[in-house]
């Protein structure tokens, strides 16, 4: 019987358990995306907590792919020494780290990107802050190479894997979604054409890092948005990736315009509200041969354990619980199966904007009330 604490392998990468720290923006980098010592220390703390795989915050592959302040960048070879410090901070604690590659496309802004944002089509939809510029085919080809360059740097810097962010309404997802992709050329129309950008990126990335280096993808099971990517087409995309040789697929869902069904839902107070992306993840798992990860509202060990035992997914990903309790993995492994203390308030993101780094504000208030300094 499979357990949460099995040792497993993705491609050639050995993992100590089936728990994954899913990517989240930390807001700890320099303005140009250069990794900071603060971020390296934060990743070291997460790795010390025992999680099997740590996926970095989303790293933009081109400067105009940036969305938020303090966002990580992987677009510059001059970042090599700082990037190596991130990987080394995790490896010193016995952990493994994956660099998540992204271009935010139409979900960026002129203020963040330094110029008009780009997207598959020049349409204004609710998830975009402003009207983007439509990408010509020659620039699409250039962006494919930028993803490959980011992956090459990840391997050179000592990261253990890369993940292509094809979810949450960012550029790859914008190509996949019929809501944001209105093109009439070979990148638009039917699902195969809309998946062309993702497949070209995967092939270029694979060529840059080799067959023995894990290349994963984060995919929406659905955009949870009228006119957006739906489950049946997401399953088709997952099959395409599987046929291409993807090493794992992490299933999420939603965009910033998806309301209560966004990627970071609030008010997860009961077991019934947990694992909200499990149904689409299980559908995708039944359609592919590669390992499948599921993220979304995991708080109870018995739910995590049940997903693994029933083989509904191969790995379970958490993000916000590790912000409050970075050692949650070791707690569960020790036999203390208490529910994660995260209350899904999303307050952790506010200090990322105002103070240069995320942290759990609820935990800070509680500690200060007891006279405990952070």
pLDDT of residue 298: 97
Whole-angstrom Cα distance, residue 356 to residue 374? Answer: 16
For the chain, what is the mean pLDDT? 96
Predicted pLDDT at 363: 86
pLDDT digits (tens, 9 = 90+) for 17-61: 999 999 999 999 999 999 999 999 999 999 999 999 999 999 999
Q: What are phi and psi of 101, to 5 degrees?
A: -105, 135
Return contacts of 358-363, CB within 8 angstroms, 24+ apart: 358/24, 358/25, 358/26, 358/27, 358/28, 358/323, 359/323, 360/323, 360/324, 362/324, 363/324
pLDDT (average), residues 106-118 = 95
pLDDT band of residue 234 (cuts 50, 70, 90) is: very high
CB neighbours of 335 closer than 8 A, spacing ≥ 6? Answer: none
Percent of the chain with pLDDT over 90: 95
Q: Catalytic pick from 42, 58, 128, 170?
A: 170
CATH number corresponding to 8-340: 3.20.20.70
- Residue 42 CB neighbours (<10 A): 21
Looking at residue 372, its pLDDT comes to 61
Q: Indicate if the pLDDT at residue 330 is higher than 60.
A: yes
- Domains of the chain: which residue ranges? 8-340
Which of 123, 119, 124 has the alpha carbon at shortest distance from 134?
119
Q: Which two tokens stand for residue 371?
A: 């006279």
Q: Residue 140 to residues 32, 178, 187, 191, 285: CA-CA distances in angstroms?
A: 23, 18, 9, 17, 30
Residue 291 burial by Cβ neighbours in a 10 Å radius (0-12, 13-18, 19+): buried
Question: Over the stretch 238-270, which tens digit does the pLDDT of each residue have?
Answer: 999 999 999 999 999 999 999 999 999 998 989
**CB-based contact 132:105 (threshold 8 Å):** yes
What single DSSP character describes residue 10? Answer: E
Annotated active-site residue 170? The verdict is: yes
Q: Residue with structure tokens 């990468």?
A: 13
Region 129-151 average pLDDT: 98
Residues 195 and 242: beta-carbon distance below 8 Å: no
Q: Which of 32-36, 72-76, 353-357 has the lowest mean pLDDT?
A: 353-357
Q: How confident is the model at residue 368 (pLDDT cuts 50, 70, 90)?
A: confident
């Amino acid at each position: 019987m499979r357990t949460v604490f099995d040792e497993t392998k993705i491609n050639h990468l050995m993992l100590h358990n089936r728990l994954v720290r899913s990517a989240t923006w930390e807001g700890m980098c320099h303005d140009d995306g250069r990794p900071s010592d603060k971020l390296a220390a934060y990743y070291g703390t997460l790795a010390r907590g025992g999680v099997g795989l740590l996926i970095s915050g989303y790293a933009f592959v081109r400067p105009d792919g940036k969305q938020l302040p303090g966002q990580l960048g992987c677009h510059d070879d001059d970042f090599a020494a700082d990037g190596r410090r991130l990987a080394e901070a995790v490896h010193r604690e016995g952990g493994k780290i994956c660099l998540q590659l992204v271009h935010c496309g139409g979900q960026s802004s002129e203020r963040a990107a330094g110029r008009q944002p780009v997207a598959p089509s020049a349409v204004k939809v609710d998830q975009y802050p402003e009207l983007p510029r439509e990408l010509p085919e020659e620039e699409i080809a250039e962006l494919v190479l930028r993803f490959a360059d980011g992956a090459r740097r990840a391997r050179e810097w000592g990261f253990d894997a890369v993940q292509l962010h094809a979810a949450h309404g960012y550029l790859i997802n914008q190509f996949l979604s019929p809501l944001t992709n209105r093109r009439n050329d070979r990148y638009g129309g039917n699902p195969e054409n809309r998946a062309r950008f993702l497949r070209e990126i995967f092939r270029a990335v694979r060529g840059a890092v080799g067959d023995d280096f894990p290349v994963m993808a984060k995919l929406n099971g659905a955009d949870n948005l009228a006119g957006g990517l739906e489950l049946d087409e997401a399953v088709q995309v997952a099959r395409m990736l599987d046929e291409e040789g993807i090493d794992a697929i992490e299933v999420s869902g939603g965009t910033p315009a998806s309301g209560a069904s966004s990627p970071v839902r609030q008010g997860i107070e009961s077991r019934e509200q947990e694992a909200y992306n499990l149904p689409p993840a299980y559908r995708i798992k039944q359609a592919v041969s590669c390992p499948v990860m599921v993220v979304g509202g995991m708080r109870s060990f018995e739910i995590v354990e049940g997903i693994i035992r029933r083989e509904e997914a191969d790995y379970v990903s958490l993000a916000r619980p590790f912000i409050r309790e970075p050692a949650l993995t070791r707690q569960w492994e020790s036999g203390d199966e208490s529910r994660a203390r995260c209350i899904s308030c999303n307050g952790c993101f506010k200090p990322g904007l105002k103070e240069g780094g995320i942290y759990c504000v609820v935990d800070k208030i509680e500690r200060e009330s007891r006279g405990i300094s952070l």
